[in-house]
Amino acid sequence: MYIIVGLGNPEERYARTFHNMGFNAAADAAELLGAKFRKRECASAVAEAYVNGEKVIIARPLTYMNLSGEAVKQLLAKYRAKPSQLVVIYDDYDIPKGKLRIRPSGSAGTHNGMRSIVSEIGTQDFARIRIGIRDPQADIPIMNYVLSEVRKEDYDLFISACNRAARAAVELAKGTPIEEVMTGFNG
């Protein structure tokens, strides 16, 4: 079993913001697996699929970004999953726009959603797929930047990045070793 969680904010007004890259990638992962977000449970919109006979849960927390850990903790408990079965996809201001960084563990860095998850589940040892959003030309505070809409000229770049992140998450759910996924998708 795997639980793929895409971080974001649930209101429509956030749909095209940098902070919703994880939500978008989760939607792409569900589509790749032929799943639909039909359930609401564990403070999340949830889609279910099967890969190689194993259940895969794709979730988009409805708690808002800064409380994402509440939903993730509930999901792990409900599905009796370990953090090693968790993949979190999210935006990362420290990575250049459109680039991916996949890691088997690590700190939350400056990301409040990840801080919430680490705090709630009590470990940093879970896979993460970070979608870079940093634009060196943007000169506004990070909080304002992450909640701003992706510029039209960058839209295709971010659609592609979310799709690559979704494909990487699906590979992890298939049991592909994380080192192979990192080699194939990082950068």
19 is catalytic: yes
CA dist., res. 52 & res. 2, Å (int): 12
* Marked catalytic residue, from 5, 7, 19, 111: 19
Exposed e or buried b per residue across 87-103, where buried means at least 16 C-beta atoms within 10 angstroms of its C-beta: bbbbbbbebebbbbbbe
Four-residue CA torsion sign, 122, 120, 131, 141: negative
β-strands 44-51, 39-41: how paired?
antiparallel
Q: Residues near 151 by Cβ (< 8 Å), separated by ≥ 6?
A: none
CA dist., res. 113 & res. 29, Å (int): 20
Catalytic residues: 19
